[in-house]
Chains A and B, each alone.
Chain A
Amino acid sequence: MLSLLRQSPLSARIGLGIVILNCLVAIFAPWIAPYDETAVVGEVWETVSARFYLGTDHIGRDLFTRMVYGARNTIALAFITTALSFMFGSLLGFVAAVKGGWIDQVLSRLIDVIMSFPTLIFALMILSVLGSSIPTLIFTIALLDSTRVYRLSRAVAMDIEVMEFVEVARLRGEGLWWIIRHEILPNALPPLTAEFGLRFCFVFLFIASLSFLGLGIQPPLADWGGMVRENAGAITFGIFTPLIPAGAIAFLTVGVNMIVDWFLHLSSGLHE
């Protein structure tokens, strides 16, 4: 692992640096942030000063503090959601690929139905019915995202499933779980991990857009997408406050994608 890191290209190292920085900020948020997450400490939209490193937001809270706590909420949420959608989606995808037949048909058509709804509208529908709590938010996005994961893992698993080593396992009498766990999963891992990175970004952006529409993380909790929305009005006055959380989203997205690119490169077997 260490030697792999030593050979990594500059872009991957930068990406890794960005992600680690974000994670550290998220973990140590209470120690880093100068103020309380929800405390109103100044005037509305104050500019950058020694007191407020990034100025204040639309009701006078310290933007830097909000950014630090926002990292915590946004990243943790995105991570849990992506992990959930991958567990769910890839498991079903693998089962469909290995079992085939009617199981595959039923699962695939069901997934098609879910996919045929525009994602955002589907999410808005569920969230407005069930109410926007963090668990429903996670569950809804994970469900929507797992359809894409299902598609990918089914396709990947189908390629592996026709290999003779899977046939050998079948002829040996191995069960479904064993085949998925030992023959399919290790070989499907590289493309799935790369996809994980990408999906992570999408979830992240999706939460941001939901927050922007007011159905994401509810105030007064800080999250980057929500912060863009809350402060959007400032733009008309020539104040750059909403650009800071937007920039943070872009920053992390670029960082994650740099790592993903490297991983894709590694798993493609091109080592030059």
Chain B
Amino acid sequence: MSTILTIKNLYIEAYSEEAWQPIVKDISLTLKKGEVLGLIGESGAGKSTIGLAAMGYTRQGCRLASGSINLDGVELMGASDEDLRLVRGSKIAYVAQSAAASFNPSHRIIKQHVEAPVQHGIMSYSDAQKEAIKIYRRLFLPNPEKIGFRYPHELSGGQLQRAMVAMAMSCEPQIIVFDEPTTALDVTTQIEVLAAVKEITEKMNKAALYITHDLAVVAQVAHRIMVLRNGRLVEEGETRALIKKPRQAYTRELLNVRSLREDKDQSDKMDVILTIKDVAATYTGEENVLEDINLTVRKGRTVALVGESGSGKSTLARVITGLLPATQGSINFLGEDLPLELKHRTKDNLRRLQMIYQMPDTALNPKQTVRRVIGRPLEFYFGMGGKKAEERIRELLFSIELEPDTYINRMTTELSGGEKQRICIARALAARPDLIICDEVTSALDQLVAEGILDLLQDLQNKTDISYLFITHDLATVKAISDKIVIMLEGKIIEQGEKKKVLSPPHHEYTDKLLSSIPEMDPDWLDNLLDERLDSFI
């Protein structure tokens, strides 16, 4: 096989704090025809930067400092804009993480698809359309003749991502850069996109750079894997060899994070603190988005609420907190019926039920200091001020494993994602709640950081006997932390029970689909699954 992309000793710098700082350091890689190279690492590892550099591109505020990028005989380092324009799209194409944000919402999909081949002068408009429909068919998009004539908002997330992959193929490039193409998707739709990626790399023999933070995903599609950290190469190897025998400690850490924790004793004596009975809710006043919701949460235990996006998990959280009053049913919390509407609840009701959000960036006021964020609930609920509050804030910071002296005066914008989420946890804890609703608290975080957050939550539960209602679409998280699992689909609970019972067969049909969709570290997992599902999937 001939080499098609060679990157040698690449350095990329970003401008920050009035100086050029290296963000990619001494990276060399080669890509042969038909080969898939997986780039893996946490955010800030430089994966995307390298992926974009393969196209001779850097984000604003970055520059290619030194090294060489040779794409099929063309040196991209220092190439003119005109030369780069000829290469991009026709020889190398890019698939971004969020297809929804990458398509222009006011043009039909196929119009955007044919833009590149027509612009590059490869095909006429009508030929390009015919080709587009062919690729749609190959990528298993439903109704391939018609689907291109829809607008982006008329497609589901998984379909849109596949249309994006199809679009990248429009000029028949030699290489495709996939930048976290499945990260924003549910496990069940992730499979569709992975199948499309497989189709392109294996059957159409294209080379690809596959960027992700999920080792189990990259194991399915890549021939070789490069593990990156802070812009440097940690380890590189054949996929199977690397997963079987990682040489570096960091790689082992990435491999090991998905482990089950010990189950707690299953005694029945514990008191139920939250009982939801026959609850229904609606946004429009007509159609119910939630129906017949019945569930209980016990003291010191974790209930995981699982389902795809749109299944009503977050809506249920809004109903419990009173932001969206239930239209029927009752919510019993700590022995008394909670008023369904937020404004009728007492301060004590509110205090005992806290919430942590998915995006710590938007859950913290960017104009406040850590002291203020944690101090306010102390002041509001307990009238704490001055020295007493200061002591308690330090105590809370200590309990979320952040050094009080370093963090107490920081603005919330001066924290990393993981640190922000810890501050959110501390804010919730400051109210001394009995129940915390955790809404996808780890899905915006890197694997290892997320693991740290889960450990912390577990730790806090062991110490304070707090209960969690854990909303997530990530079944690996569910396996790791829950005592009880509730599975939701289209606004209804379709299965619930103790973790062991739900996770062991026989499953409900949907539960089965959900469980089998979680990528496993085994490189053959996707192939086997696709063989099994082939009929139902197309």
Chain A complexes with chain B = yes
Residues on A close to B: CB < 8 A?
163-165, 167-168, 170-174, 182-183, 186-187, 272
**One of A164, A167, A168, A272 near B61 (C-beta < 8 A):** A272
Q: Is the CB of B364 within 8 A of A173?
A: no
User: Who on chain B is nearest to A168 by CB?
Assistant: B363
Bound CA–CA A182/B366 (angstroms): 11
Q: Is the CB of A172 within 8 A of B367?
A: no
Bound CA–CA A174/B377 (angstroms): 10
User: Who on chain A is nearest to B348 by CB?
Assistant: A173
User: Who on chain B is nearest to A188 by CB?
Assistant: B367
Q: Is the CB of A172 within 8 A of B380?
A: yes
Q: How many residues of B contact A (CB 8 A)?
A: 27
Is B448 on the interface with A (CB-CB < 8 A)? Answer: no
Bound CA–CA A272/B381 (angstroms): 44
Q: Which residues of chain B are within 8 angstroms of A272 by Cβ–Cβ distance?
A: 15, 61
Instruction: Name B347-382 residues within 8 Å CB distance of A.
Output: 347, 350, 353-355, 357, 359, 362-368, 376-377, 380-381
Query: What are 29 A-B interface contacts by the 8 Å CB criterion?
Result: A163-B362, A163-B363, A164-B362, A164-B363, A165-B362, A165-B364, A167-B323, A168-B355, A168-B427, A171-B321, A171-B322, A171-B323, A171-B342, A171-B350, A171-B353, A171-B354, A171-B355, A172-B377, A172-B381, A172-B431, A173-B345, A173-B347, A173-B380, A174-B380, A182-B368, A186-B367, A186-B368, A272-B15, A272-B61
Q: Which residues of chain A are within 8 angstroms of B362 by Cβ–Cβ distance?
A: 163-165
Q: Which residues of chain A are within 8 angstroms of B365 by Cβ–Cβ distance?
A: 165, 182-183, 186-187
Q: Which residues of chain B are within 8 angstroms of A171 by Cβ–Cβ distance?
A: 321-323, 342, 350, 353-355
Majority secondary structure, B binding face: mixed
User: Who on chain A is nearest to B318 by CB?
Assistant: A167
Bound CA–CA A44/B368 (angstroms): 61
A170 with B323, Cβ < 8 A, contacts A165-B365, A187-B365 known: yes
User: Who on chain A is nearest to B347 by CB?
Assistant: A173
Q: Is the CB of A187 within 8 A of B367?
A: yes
Bound CA–CA A168/B61 (angstroms): 34
Q: Which residues of chain A are within 8 angstroms of B431 by Cβ–Cβ distance?
A: 172
Residue of B323, B362, B366 most packed against chain A (CB within 10 A): B362
Residue of A163, A165, A170, A183 most packed against chain B (CB within 10 A): A165
In the complex, besides A171-B353, A187-B367, 13 extra interface pairs with C-beta distance below 8 angstroms are: A163-B362, A163-B363, A164-B362, A164-B363, A165-B363, A168-B427, A171-B354, A172-B381, A173-B350, A173-B380, A186-B365, A186-B367, A186-B368
Bound CA–CA A173/B381 (angstroms): 9
Residue of A167, A187, A272 most packed against chain B (CB within 10 A): A167
Bound CA–CA A182/B364 (angstroms): 12
Instruction: Name B291-330 residues within 8 Å CB distance of A.
Output: 321-323
User: Who on chain B is nearest to A164 by CB?
Assistant: B363
Q: Which residues of chain A are within 8 angstroms of B61 by Cβ–Cβ distance?
A: 272
Bound CA–CA A187/B367 (angstroms): 7
Contact with A along B427-452 (1 / 0, CB 8 A): 10001000000000000000000000
User: Who on chain B is nearest to A189 by CB?
Assistant: B367
Bound CA–CA A241/B119 (angstroms): 60
Bound CA–CA A165/B373 (angstroms): 10
Q: Which residues of chain A are within 8 angstroms of B345 by Cβ–Cβ distance?
A: 173
Q: Which residues of chain A are within 8 angstroms of B354 by Cβ–Cβ distance?
A: 171
A164 with B377, Cβ < 8 A, contacts A183-B365, A272-B61 known: no
Q: Which residues of chain B are within 8 angstroms of A164 by Cβ–Cβ distance?
A: 357, 359, 362-363
User: Who on chain A is nearest to B376 by CB?
Assistant: A172
> What's the minimum C-beta distance from A112 to chain B, rounded to whole angstroms?
27
> What's the minimum C-beta distance from A122 to chain B, rounded to whole angstroms?
37
> What's the minimum C-beta distance from A263 to chain B, rounded to whole angstroms?
16
Bound CA–CA A173/B353 (angstroms): 11
User: Who on chain B is nearest to A183 by CB?
Assistant: B365
> What's the minimum C-beta distance from A134 to chain B, rounded to whole angstroms?
37
> What's the minimum C-beta distance from B399 to chain A, rounded to whole angstroms?
19
> What's the minimum C-beta distance from A167 to chain B, rounded to whole angstroms?
7
Q: Which residues of chain A are within 8 angstroms of B323 by Cβ–Cβ distance?
A: 167, 170-171
User: Who on chain A is nearest to B424 by CB?
Assistant: A168
> What's the minimum C-beta distance from B397 to chain A, rounded to whole angstroms?
18
Residue of B61, B323, B367 most packed against chain A (CB within 10 A): B367
Q: Which residues of chain A are within 8 angstroms of B322 by Cβ–Cβ distance?
A: 171
